[in-house]
Amino acid sequence: MQLPSSQEIIEDLEFFDDWEQRYQYIIDLGKALPRLDDSYKTPERLVKGCQSSVWLVSSMQGETLHFEVDSDAVIVHGLLALVMAAYNDKTPAEIIAFDIDGYFNELDLERHITPTRGNGLRAIVSKIQNLAAQYA
């Protein structure tokens, strides 16, 4: 299954009446992400600042940055899917220009995750934005 776009995710979440249903949708999105091979789960690929273990692998493919991510926590894997919908296979300029704060606000996400999960989410976003800036 291919991930929906960030806009499609926003629209999909509007259909759910409560956050239990939204969490389940986010978890299901995470299940659609391929798992990283254990050989990629190395200390240098570990994103610092996350409560759970999160690994990020990046590569330039033509003009776009491609990311592979994984986590040892189910909900975090879902949150990673939200981030991948925004950033994966985009040019560095598109990544830098994307309004991630506006996206998270539209999802109403940060009010519904713990502060430590929010900090972890910010750490992942920061890592991806820094990588994009290096390639820009």
Where residue 26 sits, what CATH number does that domain have? 3.90.1010.10
Residues 62-81 have pLDDT tens digits of 999 999 999 999 999 999 99
Q: Is residue 11 part of a domain?
A: yes
Q: Which tokens belong to 20? A: 């239990």
108 found inside a domain: yes
**pLDDT for position 114:** 87
Contact 110, 40 (CB under 8 A): no
pLDDT digits (tens, 9 = 90+) for 35-64: 999 999 999 999 998 889 999 999 999 999
Is 24 within a domain? yes
Does residue 1 form part of some domain? no
Range of the domain at 34: 6-135
pLDDT value of position 1: 58
Q: What percent of the chain clears pLDDT 70, i.e. is strictly above it?
A: 99
27, 78 Cβ separation under 8 angstroms:
yes
Kindly list the catalytic residues.
Answer: 50
Based on the structure, what is the number of domains in the chain?
1
